[in-house]
Structures are given as C-alpha cells and as structure tokens.
Amino acid sequence: MMSDLQEYVNKRMARDPEFAEGFESGYSEFKIGVILRQAREAAGLTQEQVARQLGTQKSAISRIENHADDVRLSTLRAYAQAVGAQLHIQLIAQQ
C-alpha cells in the first residue's frame, strides 16, 4: 500500500516537471512541509486557525507548509504546539 506522502509525490511529479527534476535535492524540505500539513489536518485545523494561534498570517502558514526549506526550530515548535503535537527531531547517519 502506498503512503499518502508517496502518493502525493507521485502525482506532483507527474504534473510538475520542475518539481520532479529537483525532487531529490529538495526532498527533506518538502517532507517537512507535508508532515506539518498532515499534522494540521489531523488536528482538524485550517491554515487560518493555526496562523491566529501563532499570531501570524495565513500566507505565512502556507509558505511554511509549501516551502519549508528554511524554517526556524522555534517556529516548528510553535507550529507543533498549535496543532496539538510534539516536535521530535532525529538525526540518522547516512550510509
């Protein structure tokens, strides 16, 4: 069974050649955004609701979810708290 993330990636790659071309280099940033969006949706919250909790604009939440390439750790913590989640960071050695 294909994960929601993999299904999304496959569909996006099929319709967006630029995305497909840069997928490998940008995968980690993309994955963070998808994880954030999924956590927000699982909490039953809109981007606007999360933005209000964080004291920012909906556009800032959209930017975080869609372009999470340079998100501060403090922002990730606040986002996690806003959606009722905990932030856990794990480093895995590359082989």
| Average pLDDT taken over every residue of the chain | 86
- The contacts found for 15-18 with CB under 8 angstroms, 24 or more apart, are none
Looking at the chain, the whole-number percentage of residues with pLDDT higher than 70 is: 89
pLDDT band at 95 (very low <50, low <70, confident <90, very high): low
pLDDT digits (tens, 9 = 90+) for 51-87: 999 999 999 999 999 887 778 999 999 999 999 999 9
In this prediction, residue 90 carries a pLDDT of 82
Q: What Cα–Cα distance (Å) separates residue 51 from each residue in 2, 36, 48, 59, 74?
A: 31, 13, 5, 8, 15
Q: What Cα–Cα distance (Å) separates residue 75 from each residue in 8, 11, 20, 51, 92?
A: 25, 29, 28, 12, 22
- CA 67 and chain centroid, separation: 8
Report the predicted TM-score, pTM, of the whole model to 2 decimal places. Answer: 0.67
Identify the residue with better confidence: 93 or 43: 43
